[in-house]
Amino acid sequence: MKIAISSDHGGFELKEFVVRLLNDLGHEPLDLGCHSIEPVDYPDYASQVARRVLQGEAERGILICGTGLGMSIAANRFHGIRATLVNDLYLARMSREHTDSNILVLGGRVTAKGLAEEIVRVWLKTEFAGNRHSRRLEKIAAIEEDIPGNC
Ligand code: RB5
C-alpha cells in the first residue's frame, strides 16, 4: 500500500522508525519530511499528507507530532480526511472498523516504538466494517458539505 507519512520535530524519531517498518512490511512509504529534529510547524506537514491522500496519490497517511493533537486538528480540517489519534490497540482497530480512518495519527512523545509498531500493524490490516458505520460517515460528509437538515 502507498502510504504518505510526515512528522514535525516532535515526531521525527518515531516517523523514521515507522518508515522503516512500512518498508519492512512491504508497503510503499512516501516520506514527506521533516528530516531532522530542527523545529518546524506541524500544519505544514499535516497538509502535505492530507493532500496526497485526497488526491489519491497515497491510499492512506500517517502523521506524527509530539502529542498527535496538533496533527489531528490540522488534518481533520480537510474534507474527506478522517484522521484518528491512536494510542492503544483497541483504538487502532476501531479507528478502521467504525470510522474508516484514512490517516493514522501518533504522538512521538506519547507512544513507545514497540506499541507504535503494533498499532501500525493493526491499523494497516483492519478493514472498515461498513453498514451502519457508512451511514454515520455519510452524515459527517454532509456536515462538511453544510447540507441543511443533515445533523
Ligand atoms: C511541538 O513542540 C509540539 O507542540 C507538537 O509536536 C505537537 O505535540 C502539537 O500538538
The CATH number that applies at residue 76 is 3.40.1400.10
pLDDT of 79-123, one tens digit each?
Answer: 999 999 999 999 999 999 999 999 999 999 999 999 999 999 999
Of the residues 34, 65, 133, 151, only one is catalytic, namely 65
- Residue 10 CA to ligand 1 centre (angstroms): 6
146 pLDDT tier (thresholds 50, 70, 90)? confident
Residue 151 lies in a domain: no
Q: Is the pLDDT of residue 52 over 80?
A: yes
Q: What is the mean pLDDT of the chain?
A: 97
Nearest atom of ligand 1 to the alpha carbon of 109: 8
- Into how many domains does the chain fold? 1
Number of alpha carbons in the 13 Å side-chain half-sphere of residue 92: 18
Q: How far apart are CA 103 and CA 89, in angstroms?
A: 16
pLDDT value, residue 148: 63
Kindly give the residue spans of alpha helices, DSSP state H, lying in the chain.
Answer: 12-24, 42-54, 69-75, 89-97, 113-125, 132-145
Note down the domain range covering 83: 2-146
Spacing, Cα 70 to ligand 1 middle (Å): 6
pLDDT in tens, 59-90: 999 999 999 999 999 999 999 999 999 999 99
